[in-house]
Structure 1
Amino acid sequence: MALVNPSFREINKNAYKARIAAEYASVQLQLTPNFEMGVSNKTPQFLDMNPLGKVPVLETPDGPVFESNAIARYVARQNNNNTLYGSSLIQYAEEIAITGLKRALNALNTHLASNTYLVGHSVTLADIITTCNLYVGFTVSLSRASPQKGGQEGARKAERRSRRRGTQAKPKNPLDLLPPSKMILDDWKRLYSNTKNNFREVAIKGFWDMYDPEGYSLWFCDYKYNDENTVSFVTLNKVGGFLQRMI
């Protein structure tokens, strides 16, 4: 196999991937000498191997292979008597599965950070199927800490950052300068949660009785699509998503 690349005397991280993998896998690579970037990679012969004209390219009996990661994988698989893909096939399969799962969960977290639903503004089949698929994983094998990046090392770094922050003076919260409010929100929350009948007469009246205009302010929003608010739990989900995005 011949590795086509600019002068192999130069530092080239992309070519090093295949060359180092070849050393560990005991695979012989023939390096192409006298390669001139901008000239050699524009020839018809080179463009037949990689139409994009990029390096490195690996010439093999099965045909050309380009993109450095693909080349490194091809080289590593030429000799099964190495541990470049893990100590066993099952370990390699598990690592690939875990990597794919983390990538999918990260994408899901990123989407849901600014969206209440997977598609549109209401529950769709995508939400139902995704929830069912995740249910099995979280009840059988995943834990709360599983999706966290970095594992124990990440926790140690967070602990060190926390200690450093502890030695620094904490910034003052401007709200601490205000006098304490007479309204205790937890009291009204309990009243709200425990009210089963006569909600307006009990919970709403209780709110106005407890309300402290010196400590809190009220804001009202008009929803443009009130005709959509026909199902209570859907409306509550919309309100929850709206408040979540404000925080």
Structure 2
Amino acid sequence: MAAIKVYGFGPRVQPALIAAKYEGVEVQYEEVNPFKGCPAEYLEKFPLGLIPALEHGDFKLTECIAVASYIARENKANLHGKTQEDHAQVLRWMSFANTDVMALYQWFLPLVDSSRPYLKPTVEAAKAKALKSLDFLEKYLADRTFLVSERITLADIHLASVLGPAFATVLDADFRKSHPNVTRHFQTVAHQPQVLEVTGKEPVLCDKAAVYTPPKKEEKPKAAPAPKAEKPKAAPAPADDETPAEPKAKHPCEALGQAKSFPLDEWKRQYSNNETPVAMKWLDEHYDETAAQEYSFCRADFKYNEELTQTFMSANQVTGLHTRLEGSRKYLFGNMLVYGTTNASKIVGVYMFRGSNVEDIFSVAPDWESYEFTPLDYKKDRELIEKVWSWEGKVDGLECADGKTFK
């Protein structure tokens, strides 16, 4: 019989590995972190690069709830519960932990990871949603040791795995004092031998919740005060080997000079004043080989779609990005749209920009590295370009829910 292989990292893969300990199932675990790049052989098996993932012979599976449930399928330790009703409740609480409680990650990750964009409205909304869910849990656990039955189930394991990083960062001493039942439940599950065998350490409990600390601006040394001169003197002629002061830094695209073939401003007017199919016909006529030497297209994908919740909040995030791209306005046009539904969405954009270097255009926005940019070919990728620019049709199987235009 082929061995069961489990891939992933961090809290998302823990329920599957812990379930294996309870069920006595041997699994081969391989760490895969999409944020550091998925190996090519992994993407051949799982093209979307999702984690955790499971491989059992020819059978392949993704999504944390499904993977953990498959490993516990024999139910020797009753991780699915003893009855059909228990099993339904287990799935209910796993889903609750994986959606509502996961709002915690949108709260604490921007506070502790400098690579994550900090948008105060998004963080505060996530905090409010997470605390509302935890208030509900506090009441529910008032007369219960575990979520479903008198014994531990996948529901408890999944919830504790989600809560672990939050207790280490934002669920501080004050929270634990006001939420003793949630804290007791977490501590009970986290100290089970099978859980400790996977986590390898005692759970960390923070004293004070992490707060946002703006990055420090580099202080320029103060110039020494100029000595007072009794009489003004004529400035000495510069020596032959003197280097003149460097001019103030300009936008990288200024070095490209004036575009000779394609009027980007006129394209923006065509897009604004016509239906998208009509505007695209104009673009077909004017984006020729010469224009392709001066302007490029790219697709932008948000790297952390698993953290997205409400689609309107994601749209607000796009607004923030576009605001920070102001310095590139005369070199850039495009749409960034939110596809999908609440707790199951992604952010995808398509842009046309001056030159061919994405960094020259987007690095004016501090959070540009939170997006992955893929070059597009206008002729080959025209269907995708028109979909995103018209806000119609599905992208990656998802319908458009909201978005913003940059022009």
| Larger Cα-atom Rg | 1
Choose between structure 1 and 2: higher strand proportion.
2
TM normalised by structure 2 equals 0.21
TM normalised by structure 1 equals 0.33
Choose between structure 1 and 2: higher helix proportion.
1
